[in-house]
Amino acid sequence: MNLRGKVALVTGAGRGIGAAIATALARQGATVAVNYLSNDEAAASTVAACQAAGQDMGGDAWAVKADVGSQPDVQSMVDGIVREAGAIDIVVNNAFRPYAFDPERRKRFDDLEWSDYQAQFDGAAGAAFNVCRAVLPQMRQRAQGSIVNIVSNLVEHPVVPYHDYTTAKASLVSFSRNLACELGPMGIRVNCVAPGLVYPTQGTQNTKESFRESLMAATPLRRLARPEDVAGPVLFLASELSGFMTGQVLLVDGGLVMR
């Protein structure tokens, strides 16, 4: 796989899954815009990891601070990337509203307000909408591009009913498929990667060991996903190896959900 000359934007790439994806893209030769919200130190660490990983293939990276929930912020970020690098070939919408994956302390349906759903909807579909709206004009102009949206296997198998989070991720799947249908004739592909529980990340650091063990026992590959496990399928969907795929959801959960 060779992504030399490609420019990628990864949102929420300061740490965790986003950082692993950004590093993997750079390792394959891409120039990566590492988007982050507020943690300058974490973003700098991701950039350094990208630059180290990309040495042999010519990959590079730089940090771009922006709130993907803000349309003006996103437009300014995208305009800056295009000025700096000439284009954006790959977009990975990984950023989401902070969420704690704790089965015991989660809110039950009767404890939720619609504002909880709205906050997660804005953080998932809303952020992807802002980014896609900003990047698509230059992708259409060049009749090429790959967009990968990070969703969740909970949409297919809500082993824990995180109502607001999972509903928002389901909306992102639908958003992606509608966009794939419209953009396909223009040479732009839109796909999703759906991880299971990924450990360790900021959202899963307080998930109890007993629950993690029970989930591993139910998973054919007998372990949880690591951030690096999510990066491989993203690379595949970002590259020409998946050039005849769009509107698809790749499940990355060790076989917990089989389709």
Catalytic residue among 36, 99, 162, 165: 165
- Is 165 catalytic? The answer is yes
Whether residue 1 has pLDDT greater than 80: no
Looking at the domain assignment, is residue 66 inside a domain? yes
Taking residue 228's Cβ as centre, other Cβ atoms within 10 Å add up to 14
State how many domains the chain has.
1
Whether residue 259 has pLDDT greater than 90: no
Residue 103 pLDDT = 87
Looking at the domain assignment, is residue 42 inside a domain? yes
Residue 91: DSSP 8-state: E
Q: How deeply is 89 buried, as exposed, middle or buried, from its count of CB atoms within 10 A (0-12, 13-18, 19+)? A: buried
Q: Judge contact between 17 and 228, C-beta under 8 A.
A: no
Q: Judge contact between 70 and 35, C-beta under 8 A.
A: no
* Whole-number CA gyration radius for the chain: 17
End-to-end CA distance of the chain: 26
Looking at the domain assignment, is residue 2 inside a domain? no
CA distance 57 to 26: 8
Looking at the domain assignment, is residue 257 inside a domain? no
Q: Judge contact between 170 and 155, C-beta under 8 A.
A: yes
Looking at the domain assignment, is residue 258 inside a domain? no
* Mean pLDDT on 209-226: 93
Q: Name every residue whose Cβ is closer than 8 Å to that of residue 178 and which is 6 or more positions away in sequence.
A: none
Residue 86 pLDDT = 96
Q: What is the pLDDT of residues 115-143, one digit of tens each?
A: 999 999 999 999 999 999 999 999 999 99
Residue 7 pLDDT = 98
Range of the domain at 226: 7-252
Q: Give the domain CATH number at 196.
A: 3.40.50.720
Looking at the domain assignment, is residue 259 inside a domain? no
Q: What is the pLDDT of residues 164-208, one digit of tens each?
A: 999 999 999 999 999 999 999 999 999 999 999 998 887 777 788
Q: What is the pLDDT of residues 52-99, one digit of tens each?
A: 999 999 999 999 999 999 999 999 999 999 999 999 999 999 998 888
Output the six-digit token pair for 104: 């015991």
Residue 194 pLDDT = 98
Q: Name every residue whose Cβ is closer than 8 Å to that of residue 142 and which is 6 or more positions away in sequence.
A: 87
